[in-house]
Amino acid sequence: MSLTYTLPQIYDIAFDFRDVKGEVDFLLDAFRKHTGREARSAIEIACGPAYHVREIARRGLVSDGLDLEPSMVNYARELIAREELDARIFEGDMRGFKAPRKYDLAFILLASFGHLLTNQDILDNFDCVSELLADDGLYVIVTAHPRDFFAEEEPSLKTYWEMEREGIKVVTDWGGSNQQFDPLTEIDDVVISFTVTQNGQTTRHEFPERLRRLSFQTFLALVRLSGRFEIKDLLGDFDLGCRLSNAEESNRLLAVLGKLS
């Protein structure tokens, strides 16, 4: 279990820069484009503070989340209860979780897919998510742009930033200044840090972390090998018009996968 997510309030503040409404718009638009109907239910894999789970619930859809870290699960549940939203957060492993219902849409965002460290982990995740989905369900995977794993220039998305909320300032270093790569396992050993300033006092929290560098061709091969999904779309940002490419505006990988019957 990763220790990076054991400070849920700090994590929540650190990632509060995200355009959650815009990203949810994209997810629902992608579903509509590729199925010809409106999504009625969704589950976020590795949901953290449940930003997107809560936004989807506000729109009246069935909205659930899954996370492995108990403290993050409890924190997300508290946020949902505070807003009196109709949403559930499950505690479980994204390689083997079983839900009491089927969903139209599943999605995983940020670096979460990188926590699947082996090919078998990824195949198990595909099996797990396929079982969570309805027959025409979609799985949207958002992760780093493949060039960031091989190019020597600056990564497409920032790895160092500052956020402040509720009198708490959080400076995040997402492993950008400290990492060791093993070319045999394709795993980065990094140190992720949160430097927190509150009431005039500063505390630094450091967490060793392991993240998979998954090449694009390996990803395509694993999707095909799984036999669970077909690739519906490959995009470079939360924009249906932004194709995956090496252009600057294509700054991440968004894979829209359709469940195979």
pLDDT digits (tens, 9 = 90+) for 194-244: 999 999 999 999 999 999 999 999 999 999 999 999 999 999 999 999 999
One-letter amino acid for residue 164 of the chain = E
Residue 1 has pLDDT above 60, yes or no: no
pLDDT band at residue 153, thresholds of 50, 70 and 90? low
Residue 83 has pLDDT above 70, yes or no: yes
The pLDDT of residue 149: 83
The pLDDT of residue 175: 83
The pLDDT of 57-61, averaged and rounded, is: 98
Of all residues in the chain, the percent with pLDDT exceeding 70 is 97
For residue 223, CA distances in Å to 44, 81, 207 come to 19, 37, 31
Query: Right CATH number for 8-146+214-259 from 3.40.50.300, 3.40.50.150, 1.20.1050.10, 3.10.180.10?
Result: 3.40.50.150
The pLDDT of 11-39, averaged and rounded, is: 97
The pLDDT of residue 205: 95
Residue 23 has pLDDT above 90, yes or no: yes
The pLDDT of residue 242: 98
Write the pLDDT tens digit of every residue in 154-208. 777 888 999 999 999 999 999 876 678 999 999 999 999 999 999 999 999 999 9
Residue 38 has pLDDT above 90, yes or no: yes
In the chain, CATH 2.20.25.110 sits at 149-212
The pLDDT of residue 178: 66
* CATH level 3 topology of 149-212: N-terminal domain of TfIIb (2.20.25)
Write the pLDDT tens digit of every residue in 106-131. 999 989 999 999 999 999 999 999 99
The pLDDT of 135-143, averaged and rounded, is: 97
Residue 151 has pLDDT above 90, yes or no: no
In the chain, CATH 3.40.50.150 sits at 8-146+214-259
